């Protein structure tokens, strides 16, 4: 075993991790083969240690080691940790890159999101800068990781293509926490699997009584997890608590409640374990500031119990030491393509049983633990699926299909997917790209499509931005695109009085624009803050997250740079606008959002116009929430499902603006778009597809009748 590590001796505990005993064998395994699957319990050291081992063993000689993560926070915190272990400045030898935040400079160990690597593939399909690519957290089955897997299989398992554009062969390591390793190995030419034996301790799981099959729609789980966490704190022995909730607002709400209740504990009488006399409450979610994230990993002060309230990120991506108790809400927030509604909807859904087991396992890393599930056994049996469906089978594929097309992969139906998405999802994506003018009737990428793929934004937003740019009013859309790319900018305080005050300020901001239009409000907030002498004070006064706005400023600059670069091309589109100037902004938005159009049906109910005709409501956070009367047609940015299906970030429009753009789905031949030559589609397949489509339309009609 090599002992030449420059930065050792290490005192960071990394030698105590299960992976350490397998160091030399692992290095040898990577040397010996082009593809390797590595599996091991979460927390065994895969993410933080393997890249360091490979670096030490000289794998950075020819190129970088790139490690992908499905989650942004994971990429950042892990890079921080590794930089600390290697005793170097973050961003130098070890760095990270996530969307709109590049912290790399002569970096050889680069952590990044899978989305970032996918963008790099676009620019350099041979990945010529890398000597090793590690796809991490593959079990999460994120859309981008799945696509990367397919691309790597397509290019690098084919000896004829593998060395094209490269002077040395690429090593690929695929890391996964769970079972599916045989499947992964089979997918990658039956490559070897390296299993790191883990050690885990038993975790006792108990079911609760608060959430049953009838409670799918209620949000009572927030209150319940708070109650259970407090019960643990007062009646269980010392040891930290990890609470699994769904998203930022629920987590902040729960932390507020916990804080309030914990204040009232009298530690002389109320707690069983007298060695505990305080509770440290820490939130953990995706868009949190990084300095706050760092706290999560620090051991609590003596006599204090730590309670982390987290999203699913703490299930596998990040390991917090010292956790002895789990509180599992049983829910997760997921972006799902809802085929009944025909849209991607952010919704709270029950987790899968395998996910629940993973969550519970977090309590048994260093000693026996306990997991308190707030849901009933019946809920487990009736509402929770066995496994989580891979993202590729449940979200919109528009952006990745455009990426594949731009990589010259025309037959997107027969791309090597680890699990195939439903064909109709692919066809839907193709239709949408066609409607954006990103591909032509033959399924070939257009000039506009080549421009669109350059932006790390939703294709619709990109389309609107490019329209604005072609009309010379990009400033309007750059700011809006930036604002929609950062975390929520409006502060929502937990206290009802404060909430009223914040609401009032937010309504005033919306009214200031003179039009009830949430996009215009975002633009106005951006501009007012930017032009203010004391922007942070301005934010505070208006109940706006200053941190989010700072990110928005940075994102806007980056988008502007991309646009500027593209505008240098001689065939960048230029158009003129002969309509009413006051309509310009909304007309640009319509170019990108015409598939998100809704018409007032009755009262406060709107009906989407995408061929699905789903019933939606305007979200209470919108300035249009209480508008009646004139408001008949609207476009919206996204959809959220709680007790109802809500549309968020809404803008009133006129029917004339979209009538020519409204999807004419039946007019395009989706198979033609898929570049499957006409002859290759048998008449039988075509008939099958047509009758399926017809049946779908029929069932939607009857759904509405019901
Ligand atoms: P795996 O990838 O196998 O799940 P990791 O490499 O992520 O394992 O974690 C190995 C160990 O490093 C864990 O004990 C974890 O707690 C620790 N660790 C990871 N990131 C941090 C951090 N930012 N601060 C402190 N400890 C960390
Ligand atoms: Mg890991």
Do 543 and 509 touch, CB atoms closer than 8 A?
no
Quote the ipTM score: 0.98
Angle, CA of 199, 201 and 202, to the nearest 5°: 140
Q: Kindly give the distance from the C-alpha atom of residue 282 to the centroid of ligand 1, in angstroms, as a whole number.
A: 18
The pLDDT-based confidence of 304 (bands split at 50, 70, 90) is very high
Count of all residues that appear for the chain in the document? 706
**Distance of alpha carbon 112 from alpha carbon 75, whole angstroms:** 5
Does residue 215 surpass a pLDDT of 90?
no
Which ligand 1 atom sits closest to the C-alpha of 81?
23
What average pLDDT does the segment 687-706 reach? 47
What average pLDDT does the segment 241-249 reach? 93
DSSP code per residue over 292-327: HHHHHHSPPPTT-EEEEEE-GGGTTT---TTEEEEE
Which ligand 1 atom sits closest to the C-alpha of 42?
4
395 within ligand 1 shell (Cβ under 6 A): no
Of 139, 105, 546, 572, residue with least CA distance to 357: 139
Do 56 and 108 touch, CB atoms closer than 8 A?
no
- Residue 644: the pLDDT is 85
Q: What does the DSSP 8-state code read for residue 604?
A: T
The pLDDT-based confidence of 629 (bands split at 50, 70, 90) is low
What are the structure tokens assigned to 2, written together? 């090599």
Angle at which helices 290-297 and 72-85 cross, to 10°: 60
**Locus of tokens 């009309």:** 471
Pairing of strands 240-244, 35-40: unpaired
Cis peptide preceding 232, ω within 30 of 0: no
What average pLDDT does the segment 201-230 reach? 91
Q: What does the DSSP 8-state code read for residue 196?
A: E
Does residue 8 surpass a pLDDT of 80?
no
- Residue 530: the pLDDT is 95
Select from 15, 81, 109 the residue to mutate for testing ligand 1; criterion: most ligand atoms less than 8 Å from CB: 81
What average pLDDT does the segment 453-479 reach? 94
Of 423, 428, 443, residue with least CA distance to 344: 428
Do 309 and 262 touch, CB atoms closer than 8 A?
no
- Please name the residue whose Cα sits nearest to atom 5 of ligand 1: 45
48 within ligand 1 shell (Cβ under 6 A): yes
46 within ligand 1 shell (Cβ under 6 A): yes
322 within ligand 1 shell (Cβ under 6 A): no
Q: Which residue has the higher pLDDT, 9 or 536?
A: 536
| Average pLDDT of the chain, as a whole number | 88
293 within ligand 1 shell (Cβ under 6 A): no
Q: Kindly give the distance from the C-alpha atom of residue 41 to the centroid of ligand 2, in angstroms, as a whole number.
A: 9
**Locus of tokens 């019960």:** 231
**Distance of alpha carbon 591 from alpha carbon 463, whole angstroms:** 7
**Distance of alpha carbon 683 from alpha carbon 43, whole angstroms:** 53
DSSP code per residue over 82-115: HHHHTT--BTTTEEEEETTEEE-SS-SEEEEEHH
- Please name the residue whose Cα sits nearest to atom 23 of ligand 1: 81
- Please name the residue whose Cα sits nearest to atom 10 of ligand 1: 45
- Residue 383: the pLDDT is 95
**Distance of alpha carbon 317 from alpha carbon 313, whole angstroms:** 6
Does residue 258 surpass a pLDDT of 90?
yes
Helix segments in 362-411, DSSP class H: 377-383, 398-406
| CA-atom Rg of the chain in angstroms | 26
> Residues 322-335: pLDDT tens digits?
999 999 999 999 88
The distance from CA 695 to its chain's CA centroid, rounded to whole angstroms, is 33
Q: Kindly give the distance from the C-alpha atom of residue 318 to the centroid of ligand 2, in angstroms, as a whole number.
A: 7
Of 65, 164, 71, residue with least CA distance to 114: 71
What average pLDDT does the segment 242-251 reach? 92
Of 563, 559, 568, 587, residue with least CA distance to 651: 587
361 within ligand 1 shell (Cβ under 6 A): no
- Decide: helix, strand or coil at residue 504: helix
321 within ligand 1 shell (Cβ under 6 A): yes
What average pLDDT does the segment 441-470 reach? 94
Q: Kindly give the distance from the C-alpha atom of residue 78 to the centroid of ligand 1, in angstroms, as a whole number.
A: 7
Q: Kindly give the distance from the C-alpha atom of residue 138 to the centroid of ligand 2, in angstroms, as a whole number.
A: 10
Select from 319, 361, 364 the residue to mutate for testing ligand 1; criterion: most ligand atoms less than 8 Å from CB: 319
Q: Which residues surround ligand 2, an ion (CB under 5 A)?
A: 46-47
What average pLDDT does the segment 654-672 reach? 67
Q: Kindly give the distance from the C-alpha atom of residue 272 to the centroid of ligand 2, in angstroms, as a whole number.
A: 35
- Residue 680: the pLDDT is 39
The pLDDT-based confidence of 688 (bands split at 50, 70, 90) is low
Does residue 687 surpass a pLDDT of 90?
no
What average pLDDT does the segment 469-477 reach? 95
Q: Which ligand is nearest to the CA of 43?
A: 1
> Residues 84-109: pLDDT tens digits?
999 999 999 999 999 999 999 999 99
> Residues 366-421: pLDDT tens digits?
889 999 999 999 999 999 999 999 999 998 899 999 999 999 998 999 999 999 99
**Distance of alpha carbon 52 from alpha carbon 47, whole angstroms:** 9
Q: Kindly give the distance from the C-alpha atom of residue 576 to the centroid of ligand 1, in angstroms, as a whole number.
A: 55
> Residues 509-554: pLDDT tens digits?
998 888 889 999 999 999 999 999 999 999 999 999 998 999 899 9
Helix segments in 4-45, DSSP class H: 23-32
- Please name the residue whose Cα sits nearest to atom 15 of ligand 1: 319
Q: Which residue has the higher pLDDT, 57 or 290?
A: 57
Do 338 and 345 touch, CB atoms closer than 8 A?
yes
Its sign, for the CA torsion 310, 315, 320, 321, is positive
- Residue 392: the pLDDT is 94
Does residue 360 surpass a pLDDT of 90?
yes
Task: Note the pTM of the prediction, 2 decimals.
Answer: 0.86
- Residue 702: the pLDDT is 39
Which strands form 240-244's sheet, in the order they lie side by side?
A: 203-206, 369-373, 323-328, 240-244, 305-310, 279-284
- Residue 177: the pLDDT is 84
Does residue 681 surpass a pLDDT of 60?
no
Q: Which ligand is nearest to the CA of 41?
A: 1
Share of the chain above pLDDT 90, in %: 64
Phi, psi of 551 (to 5 degrees): -60, -40
Does residue 683 surpass a pLDDT of 50?
no
317 within ligand 1 shell (Cβ under 6 A): no
What average pLDDT does the segment 659-674 reach? 60
Phi, psi of 444 (to 5 degrees): -90, 145
**Locus of tokens 């990044």:** 112
Q: Kindly give the distance from the C-alpha atom of residue 42 to the centroid of ligand 2, in angstroms, as a whole number.
A: 6
Does residue 611 surpass a pLDDT of 80?
no
Q: Kindly give the distance from the C-alpha atom of residue 297 to the centroid of ligand 1, in angstroms, as a whole number.
A: 9
Which ligand 1 atom sits closest to the C-alpha of 316?
4
358 within ligand 1 shell (Cβ under 6 A): no
Of 76, 139, 145, 89, residue with least CA distance to 287: 76
- Count how many Cα atoms sit within 13 Å of the Cα of residue 653 in the half-sphere of its side chain: 26
- Residue 2: the pLDDT is 43
Q: Kindly give the distance from the C-alpha atom of residue 52 to the centroid of ligand 1, in angstroms, as a whole number.
A: 13
Identify the burial level of 331 via C-beta atoms within 10 angstroms of its C-beta, where 0-12 means exposed, 13-18 middle and 19 or more buried: buried
What average pLDDT does the segment 301-329 reach? 94
Residue 352's CB is within 10 A of a number of other CB atoms, namely 16
Q: Kindly give the distance from the C-alpha atom of residue 350 to the centroid of ligand 2, in angstroms, as a whole number.
A: 24
> Residues 25-49: pLDDT tens digits?
999 999 999 999 999 988 899 999 9
Residue 245's CB is within 10 A of a number of other CB atoms, namely 30
- Please name the residue whose Cα sits nearest to atom 24 of ligand 1: 297
- Residue 691: the pLDDT is 58
Its sign, for the CA torsion 493, 497, 502, 506, is positive
**Locus of tokens 């007032």:** 600
Q: Which ligand is nearest to the CA of 19?
A: 1
The torsion angle over the Cα atoms of residues 481, 460, 331 and 200, rounded to 10 degrees, is -80
- Residue 161: the pLDDT is 84
Q: What are the distances in angstroms from CA 52 to CA 87, 89, 319?
A: 12, 15, 18
What average pLDDT does the segment 127-156 reach? 95
Select from 12, 15, 37, 45 the residue to mutate for testing ligand 1; criterion: most ligand atoms less than 8 Å from CB: 45
Q: Kindly give the distance from the C-alpha atom of residue 45 to the centroid of ligand 1, in angstroms, as a whole number.
A: 6
Q: What does the DSSP 8-state code read for residue 137?
A: -
Of 636, 132, 673, 88, residue with least CA distance to 412: 673
The pLDDT-based confidence of 236 (bands split at 50, 70, 90) is very high
Q: Kindly give the distance from the C-alpha atom of residue 173 to the centroid of ligand 2, in angstroms, as a whole number.
A: 13
Does residue 223 surpass a pLDDT of 50?
yes
**Distance of alpha carbon 179 from alpha carbon 361, whole angstroms:** 15
**Locus of tokens 């002969």:** 578
Q: What are the distances in angstroms from CA 234 to CA 130, 256, 270?
A: 52, 18, 6
What average pLDDT does the segment 475-479 reach? 95
């Amino acid at each position: 075993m090599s002992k030449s590590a420059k930065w050792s001796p290490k005192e960071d505990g990394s030698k105590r991790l299960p992976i350490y005993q397998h160091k030399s064998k692992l290095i040898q395994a990577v040397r010996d083969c082009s593809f390797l699957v590595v599996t091991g319990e979460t927390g065994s050291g895969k993410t933080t240690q393997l890249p360091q081992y490979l670096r030490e063993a000289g794998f950075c000689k020819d190129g970088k080691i790139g490690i992908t993560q499905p989650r942004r926070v994971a990429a950042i915190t892990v890079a921080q940790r590794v930089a600390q272990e290697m005793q170097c400045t973050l961003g130098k030898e070890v760095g990270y890159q996530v969307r709109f935040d590049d912290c790399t400079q002569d970096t050889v160990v680069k952590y990044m999101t899978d989305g970032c690597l996918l963008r790099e593939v676009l620019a350099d399909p041979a990945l010529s800068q890398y000597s090793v690519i590690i796809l991490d957290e593959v079990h999460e089955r994120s859309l981008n990781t799945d696509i990367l897997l397919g691309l790597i299989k397509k290019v690098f398992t084919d000896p004829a293509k593998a060395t094209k554009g490269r002077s040395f062969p690429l090593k690929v390591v695929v890391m996964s926490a769970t079972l599916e390793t045989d499947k992964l190995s089979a997918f990658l030419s039956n490559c070897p699997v390296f299993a790191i034996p883990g050690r885990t301790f038993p975790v006792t799981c108990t079911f609760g009584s608060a959430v049953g099959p009838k409670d799918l729609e209620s949000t009572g789980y927030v209150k319940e997890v708070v109650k259970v966490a407090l019960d643990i704190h007062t009646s269980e022995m010392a040891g930290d608590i990890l609470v699994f909730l769904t998203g930022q607002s629920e987590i902040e709400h729960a932390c507020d409640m916990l804080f309030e209740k914990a204040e009232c504990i009298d530690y002389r009488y109320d707690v069983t374990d007298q060695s505990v006399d305080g509770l440290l409450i820490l939130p953990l979610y995706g868009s949190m500031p990084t300095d706050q994230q760092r706290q999560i990993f620090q051991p609590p002060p003596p006599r204090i119990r730590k309670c982390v309230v987290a999203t699913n990120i703490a299930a596998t991506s990040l390991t917090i030491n010292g956790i002895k108790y789990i509180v599992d809400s049983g829910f997760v927030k997921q972006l799902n393509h809802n085929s009944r509604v025909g849209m991607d909807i952010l919704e709270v859904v029950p987790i899968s049983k395998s996910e629940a087991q993973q969550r519970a396992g977090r309590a048994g890393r260093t000693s026996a633990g306990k997991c308190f599930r707030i849901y009933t056994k019946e809920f487990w049996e009736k509402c929770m699926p066995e496994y989580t469906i891979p993202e590729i089978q449940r979200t919109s594929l528009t952006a990745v299909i455009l990426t594949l097309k731009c990589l010259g992969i025309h037959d997107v139906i027969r791309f090597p997917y680890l699990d195939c998405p439903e064909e109709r999802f692919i066809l839907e994506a193709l239709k949408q790209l066609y409607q954006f003018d990103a591909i032509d009737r033959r399924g070939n990428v257009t000039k506009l499509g080549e421009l669109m793929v350059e932006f790390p934004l939703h294709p619709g937003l990109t389309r609107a931005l490019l329209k604005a740019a072609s009309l010379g009013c990009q400033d309007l859309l750059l700011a809006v695109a930036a604002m929609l790319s950062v975390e929520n900018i409006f502060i929502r305080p937990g206290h009802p009085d404060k909430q009223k005050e914040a609401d009032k300020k937010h309504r005033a901001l919306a009214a200031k624009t003179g039009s009830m239009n949430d996009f215009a409000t975002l633009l106005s907030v951006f501009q007012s803050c930017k032009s203010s002498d004391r922007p942070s004070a301005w934010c505070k006064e208006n109940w706006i997250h200053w941190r989010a706005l700072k990110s928005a400023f940075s994102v806007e600059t980056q988008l502007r740079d991309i646009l500027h670069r593209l505008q240098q091309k001689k065939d960048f589109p230029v158009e003129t606008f002969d309509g009413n100037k006051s309509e310009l902004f909304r007309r640009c938005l319509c170019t990108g959002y015409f598939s998100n159009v809704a018409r007032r049906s009755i009262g406060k109910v709107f009906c989407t116009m995408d061929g699905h005709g789903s019933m939606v409501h305007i979200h209470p956070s919108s300035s249009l929430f209480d508008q009646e009367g004139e408001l008949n047609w609207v476009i919206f940015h996204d959809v959220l499902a709680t007790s109802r299906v809500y549309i968020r970030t809404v803008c009133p429009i006129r029917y004339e603006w979209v009538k020519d753009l409204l999807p004419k789905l039946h007019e395009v031949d989706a198979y033609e778009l898929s570049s499957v030559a006409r002859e290759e589609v048998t008449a039988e397949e075509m008939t099958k597809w047509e009758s399926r489509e017809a049946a779908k339309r029929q069932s939607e009609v009857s759904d509405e009748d019901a």
